[in-house]
Amino acid sequence: MKRDEFSGFFGVLVATVGSAVGLGNLWRFPYLVGQNGGAAFILIYLAFVLIVCMPIIVSEFIIGRRTNANTVKAFQILAPGTPWSIVGIVGVVAALAILAFYTVVGGWTFDYLVRSVMYVFSKPDLSSLEQQFTQMVTSPVRPILWTILFMGVNAFIVMCGIKKGIEKYSRIMMPVLFVMVVMLVIRSLTLEGAREGLEFLFRPDFSKINTKVVLAALGQAFFSLSLGMGCLITYGSYIPKQENLTKLAFSTGIADTLFAILAGIAIMPAVFAFGISPEEGPGLVFIVLPRIFAQIPLGNVFAVIFFAILLIAAITSVISLMEVVTAYISERFTIKRKITVAIVSVFVTVCASFSSLSQGVLQEVKVFGKTIFDFFDHLSANILLPLGGLSIVIFIGWYLKKEVVYDEYTNQGTLKGTLFNACYFIIRYIAPVAIAVVFLDLILR
């Protein structure tokens, strides 16, 4: 049976950018910028995206397209009879671990979008907003219902397949996402006092740079681009043979970074305009921003736009994670796609329900000293993703023959091997060291 594949360059691009652009860009990036000195952090982040991350994206694309297989089978094909397939299994487990808590946050976003439409955030009362958020996340029923609805949307898209599902809806959602982010940027820039926020974002203070800032920038660049979790290997397996992998990798990295910076421009001028600390942290999205929206003309409209942006970003990321698991189970056990998606959806929903309950009635239940929600977060971000990313670059740089890598890089010699030697050098020597440093920092933190 012929595997489904993307229709062409734009189809691949919107899907891979959709995978990369998620809550990490629109939620985590702005507050990390705030906590790590603004523009100096952004410059270091950009350097890591260009120098370290893009060659890793190429590596994952090469593994996927060379084999036209799921993330586990890909390693079995390229390294038969070796333990390298464990790397693929790590990717599947990482995807499941992320889905177990990420879908809960997706449910919160769905809840906040609906409440924005209902004009709930009309009063800039900080204590009231904090109370609303706490009541929502600790409720034993409400967030689970929203999580189920959120999973249902993602399951429908993945059930439709690659071309008629993931690509089709990514082609719709990603342009809409871009337009809405630009609308939010324009509104933020028209606020009195917005200039200070722009200076914070784009006037670097290199005295802020230290080891902590460098590691935070490298970690955010790595995780923002969905590296090490099998998404890009899986999507790579659906890329047509004639597409230029280097061009795709650079386009993905640039588009993802553009979204992250636009998110910063949309949020930081508003934060400064209302005298709020840019170091506010994760509460920035669900507590501080609704407070800002309540104080500006047409704020409710922009609240709806903002939470719609968050929801779309969450969906495009989750469908890529679901595809990693779906492709593996469907091909490994020869199960129809729709049945596989149903099985994966039920399993993830059960895990996500426990994650949600750990914010409230199950908060005393600990797994290695962490709540269930925090355990899945820590397991994926601090262990499985860097482990998977490190294994991938070692596999490409040190195990797979250079001729094989070059052959796929150049589309069997039909393209010039521009930047191949530089890319291969980074994959072999620089990327493993960079990932190992982040890995150790995350473990020892």
Q: Taking the chain, what is the end-to-end CA distance rounded to the nearest angstrom? A: 48
* Per-residue model confidence as pLDDT tens digits over 53-69: 888 899 999 999 999 99
* Per-residue model confidence as pLDDT tens digits over 331-362: 999 999 999 999 999 999 999 999 999 999 99
Percent of the chain with pLDDT over 70: 96
Percent of the chain with pLDDT over 90: 49
3-state secondary structure 232-277: HHHHHCCCCCCCCHHHHHHHHHHHHHHHHHHHHHHHHHHHHHCCCC
pLDDT at residue 222 greater than cutoff 80? no
Q: Residues 284-306: what's their mean pLDDT?
A: 81
Residue 238: the pLDDT is 94
More confident residue, 99 or 224: 99
More confident residue, 75 or 442: 75
At 370, is the secondary structure helix, strand, or coil?
strand
Smallest CA-to-CA distance from 318 within 112, 150, 169 is with 150
Q: Residues 229-245: what's their mean pLDDT?
A: 91
Q: What is the DSSP letter of 367?
A: B
Task: Tell me the average pLDDT of the chain.
Answer: 88
More confident residue, 348 or 378: 348
Smallest CA-to-CA distance from 346 within 158, 157, 148, 165 is with 148
Return the CA Rg of the chain: 21
Buried b (16+ CB within 10 A) or exposed e, 361-379: ebeeeeeeeebbbbbbbbb
Highest mean pLDDT out of 2-16, 119-133, 402-416: 402-416
Q: How many C-beta atoms surround the C-beta of residue 19 within 10 A?
A: 27
* 76-80, 227-231, 393-397, 410-414: least confident range: 227-231
Q: Residues 163-179: what's their mean pLDDT?
A: 91
Q: How confident is the model at residue 281 (pLDDT cuts 50, 70, 90)?
A: low
Smallest CA-to-CA distance from 71 within 95, 56, 89 is with 89
Take residue 45 and report the two structure tokens written for it.
């982040």
Q: Residues 34-58: what's their mean pLDDT?
A: 86
Residue 280: the pLDDT is 62
H/E element holding 335?
none
pLDDT at residue 3 greater than cutoff 80? no
Residue 164: the pLDDT is 92
Take residue 407 and report the two structure tokens written for it.
């052959």
Q: Residues 426-442: what's their mean pLDDT?
A: 86
Domains of the chain by residue range: 9-103+191-280+317-444
Which single residue is written with the structure tokens 């355990």? 375
